[in-house]
Structure 1
């Protein structure tokens, strides 16, 4: 009995046969190859997509044994999967194919460019390159935004917008970018979707990801993000709707549902948003409630999603994104208390829990939470104290003393070494 070919062997066999096919046969083989790429894990993808393979693709385009259109069909899918599967692919950066694409985009000879061809090259290059060169940003960004601004409501246009926004979001946050290059367009994309729902869920999240990455170098974008485009409101709504679409009974590592992946992307942005923003409005209360709902859905089988939920809630209390009574009302204090009592905790959960209770304790010591009613603060403090006392929380905190020293010594977020700092005192 012959041994069944592995997914990488199947891919290589199909790739090796491309030169012997006409253009239509090549397209069919590449569609089959793209299906195999979807099945590959990071190790398999890195095994296949070497600098030698990218150089081979360049050579095949050069001698016209592979049409540029078919090469782009393959390369876009590689870049798309690379970003969605969170793996690094440095082999493209130094390849002849990368050099070829740079030359097309820069076009030192001033040749007139076919717009579709330019867009295709922009997308492939931005998706595949580890870091887009600074000199290409002013070329790639307008090109990609133009695709995403197409408001036709059909499946093909939605997919094109999704790929363009994914490529756009992959442009490094390290570079400063003039607002004139992107802000009007990305606002229009987000606002139009808020009214007409014309983007896919991934495309909409990715549009926000691009804007939030610009916030990294431009604090003045906060007013636009918080009060004009309502990031907290939109993130809350998306989390609520996506949570209903996921089969939470499956194990996280077994679930290939796109919705579960997009939830993770939203939560990642929420964590950074709570860390970076200084403004707040009524939308934040709804966002915190949505994070709790996501946590409750994911807690049995989705450890990474749970970690992102707990991290974002810890940052929300630390950065004072809502009043203490909001956290009590949503059951977050009980949630963290229950987490801290588990026998199998990883370092991240312990760190988030300790940090959360340190901030709760600090904010309830005196009138620091914007409460107008001092009596209300004291009632809430007593309620939390009684709950923590009933749960034996003092013993739980004492058991983590060694861990507190560990995180301080290893450069994690600073935590108090005094156990009493984490407890309520009447």
Structure 2
């Protein structure tokens, strides 16, 4: 049964067919505004194959200009990506097939291409589709949309174009391999220019990093540029602090900043998966994640869960030192989680993994005397902290839960309690 928001959206959409060109643009603005206030579940229910097929029919019957269809579809894709909604309906629709044909025809033209239309089509396609037809098509998308994202004019309209292009690029998931010569120089320029001039929106800046870090999963040679030249940890920590100031942590109105925060945490998971290098900025990033975890855990369960996942991935990353986790407060924060009287199984799983990874890493001896001496100091500090907090008793209380967690997560989570302990 439709609720009020869905009913209002569907009514606006049904009225498009009877509007003249200028009226249609006004109606589209109303449709886009209606999407802004809809919850994730509501958005998923209104993005149907029937809606997209109806748009295709209106275009075919010349009741809707392609320009207007693009306005709607861009915003649908924007909201889909911002609020992490599923939109497989577009992929199965006649409108998707039309777009693919137009893109193919446009790419084959040697002269007289409508470059703006093609860029719009690329953005719509990436924002609304999970997969891209071929690697060759993907190269074209990346090259063209980076060109849009490189625009530096200080105009609101240009800022929106740049944000949309970067957001579309961030939709290219990590399992798509792209040669770094196609993007590294350009995306680095975009990030560095923002660091100097602050020309991007918060969402655009996150999207730029999201695109680059997704490439990091398959291209470890990006490490030095990401860690030491572009200073990912420093920049991400600063962004978390800025966004945190703009979220209503007492659970007020749902905000865009909340979703941008969630996008950062998903980016962190890719970063920690690929990270092999270290610099001194990592502890600051860990500290920012811990601060948000403590702020969010009472009213923002999804953000809290993403914080814990990020800390678990950081503990598993060879590029993050155990000292960073101690200094940044991650050990204290995860201890607080397992000491709660009620803890859900997902949180328990993440916390147990966090301590398993730390224990395992503390058993690895350093490859020279200096590193080994430092490892022993860290191990002693960690042991004393855990002993003081009654950690072994806390972990032992999870014994019955371990086999269950191992089964439901199909993981190599050890069931031997002793492997989670840190012994001097």
Q: TM-score, normalised by structure 2?
A: 0.90
Counterparts in 2 of 1:368 and 1:180: CA distance versus 1, 3 Å: closer
Equivalent positions of 1:266-281 (< 5 A) are 266-281=264-279
Q: What does residue 126 of structure 2 align with?
A: 126
Q: Which runs of 5+ in 2 are unaligned?
A: none
- 2:356 pairs with 1:355: no
Do the aligned residues in 2 keep the contact of 1:407 with 1:414 (CA within 8 Å)? no
Matched, 1:27 2:25: yes
Q: Distance in 1 between matches of 2:157 and 2:14?
A: 30
Q: How does 1:21-420 map to 2 (within 5 A)?
A: 21-107=19-105, 110=109, 112-134=112-134, 135-250=136-251, 255-364=253-362, 367-368=365-366, 372=370, 381-420=379-418
Deviation at 1:203, TM superposition (A): 0.5
After superposition, what is the alpha-carbon deviation per residue over 1:366-419, rounded to whole angstroms, capped at 9, x for unaligned?
754988387776665455444434433222222111222223334544233222
- Distance of 1:6 and 1:93 partners within structure 2: 27
Flag the 1:62–1:188 CA change in 2: closer, same or farther, 3 A.
same
Distance 1:308 1:371, change over 3 A: farther
RMSD: 2.6
Unaligned runs of 5+ in 1: none
Name which of structure 1's ranges 76-85 and 279-288 shifts more when overlaid on structure 2: 279-288
TM-score, with length taken from structure 1: 0.89
Q: CA deviation at 1:6?
A: 2.7
**Cα deviation digits, residues 307-343 of structure 1 (max 9, x gap):** 2222222222332444444433333322222211111
| Contact 2:82/2:260 (8 A) holds in 1 | no
Pairing 1:425–2:414 present: no
**Compared with structure 1, are the counterparts of its residues 377 and 279 closer, same or farther at alpha carbon in structure 2 (3 Å cutoff)?**
closer
Counterpart contact for 2:236–2:285, Cα < 8 Å: yes
Supply the distance in 1 between the matched residues of 2:3 and 2:350 (Cα, whole angstroms). 45
CA distance in 1, matches of 2:315, 2:375: 16
Residues 88 and 130, structure 1, Cα contact 8 Å, conserved in 2: no
Could you tell me whether the CA contact under 8 Å between 1:267 and 1:312 is conserved in 2?
A: yes
